[in-house]
Amino acid sequence: MSQIQLSDHFTYRKLLRFTLPSMVMMVFISIYSVIDGLFVSNLVGKTAFAALNLVYPFLMMLAVVGLMFGTGGSALVAKILGEGDSKRANSLFSLFVYAVIVLGTILAILGEIFMPQIVVWLGGEGELIPLGILYGRILLVALPAFALQMAFQSFMVAAEKPNLGLKVALAAGFTNIILDFVFIRWMGWGLEGAAWATAISQFVGGGVPMIYFARRNSSLLRLGRCRYDHWAMCKACANGSSEMVTNLAVSLVSMLYNYQLMQFVGENGVAAYGVIMYVNFVFLAIFIGYSMGSAPIVSYHFGAKNQSEMQNLYRKSLRIVLTLGVSITILAELLAHPLSWIFVGFDQELFLFTRRAFMIFSLSFLLAGFNVYASAFFTALNNGLVSAGISFSRTLVFECGAVMLLPLLFGIDGIWSSVVVAEGIGVVLSVTMLCLFRKKYGY
């Protein structure tokens, strides 16, 4: 089967073939915390499970520097490749990767120093504090590698190597699964074992692509010497700001959910939300993976000024995303019972509480995919302002507002339905932006 190139005309079959590795890759990356959660909740206990859920959103928030340079940088690199300047594209690619390493290291050092204060600030109490500090400090060791892994997700697609990204994600995912079993089940290391299993798998996910691109390879990109380019750095940050804002907001919203749940329900609420977030990460990863896989194609044809292909990609992508939204929502509703049982079946009260929350929260998948794609589409067009506006509004503004207001009106069900309301308002904003800019970009 011939290799698909960014310059090709894309049918539904070719588009799905090209984006499928990115979707699977994102699912496997999102499974990191899911695997930890499964082992910790069933083999270590509810308190350790709550500690993991308390700290992980903050660690994800630090790692988004990699996602910002990956999505924003790959949009710029793919556009320049479409313009025919491969030398500059490679120089900028190298610059962005080195920037991720430096910033990831600085954030890791700061995190190690202030982790005790951070855990308390996140709402940790009693036994949650030492467990949260332990888990956070171990994962911070691998933060630069995790940030690199997030960056390479997009760059491997821009390099026309989405299958390589899938293979790396599979290797990292299976490393995590095997080490979780060894460290927790066999060696009895508890939450510490879960943290080291994830950290080592992140070194695999970030280190393997680094080695591949540093050597002579068959892709469009290779790491090498670069010159600092202030305009390109600002442009990449602006392009990737929407993805950075989205992930920062998700982490902040998760912390807000945990705070509200501690006030309304207590430890059971945090544990239930942890289960929902695991499934949410996996299902949203499908939308994010598709958007990530298709974005460099849009950027390439935007740079090549091929409006007919941009129109083709836009129409087909909207149909694919809407179909995925309906399918994932139905699947999530059907799986609410078995997935809740897998995570918290050891506690009947917690199981019933989680299942109900799961079924309300899952309605958001019907709308979320459209918003994720709309934001990524503007990133691909190198319009970071609109992309960030969509992401910032739907997550930080709409969802934070809903999670603060709705519980006052509807109690605990108001917390679970907050995301559904926020995504609904987000769809209105996304449709408005897509209509406003249609003539400007010719899609």
pLDDT tens string 283-314:
888 998 899 889 888 988 988 888 999 999 99
Q: What is the largest CA-CA distance in the chain?
A: 61
Distances (CA, A) of 404 to 121, 411, 412, 414: 18, 11, 11, 9
Q: Apex CA 394: angle with CA 158 and CA 258, to 5°?
A: 105
What tens digit of pLDDT does each residue of 91-130 get? 999 999 999 999 999 999 999 999 999 888 877 778 889 9
Q: How many residues does the chain have?
A: 443
Distances (CA, A) of 151 to 5, 100, 101, 171, 273: 21, 8, 10, 17, 28
Q: Residues with Cβ < 8 Å from 417, sequence gap 6 or more? A: 360, 361, 363, 402, 406, 410
| Whole-number pLDDT of residue 57 | 75
Look at residues 142, 152, 143 and name the one whose alpha carbon lies nearest to residue 25: 152
| Whole-number pLDDT of residue 437 | 92
Mean local confidence (pLDDT), 315-331 = 94
* Per-residue tokens: 60: 């994800």
| Whole-number pLDDT of residue 408 | 84
Q: Residues with Cβ < 8 Å from 440, sequence gap 6 or more? A: none
Look at residues 270, 262, 199 and name the one whose alpha carbon lies nearest to residue 54: 270
Q: How confident is the model at residue 243 (pLDDT cuts 50, 70, 90)?
A: low
| Whole-number pLDDT of residue 140 | 96
Mean local confidence (pLDDT), 141-164 = 90
219/272: higher pLDDT: 219
- Which residue do the tokens 């591949």 mark? 212
pLDDT, the chain, mean: 87
Calculate the CA dihedral of residues 46, 271, 48, 267 and round it to 10 degrees: -80
Global model pTM greater than 0.85: no
User: Is residue 4 within 8 Å of 18, Cβ to Cβ?
Assistant: yes
CA distance 225 to 162: 24
Q: Residues with Cβ < 8 Å from 323, sequence gap 6 or more? A: none
What are the structural domain ranges in the chain?
A: 16-441
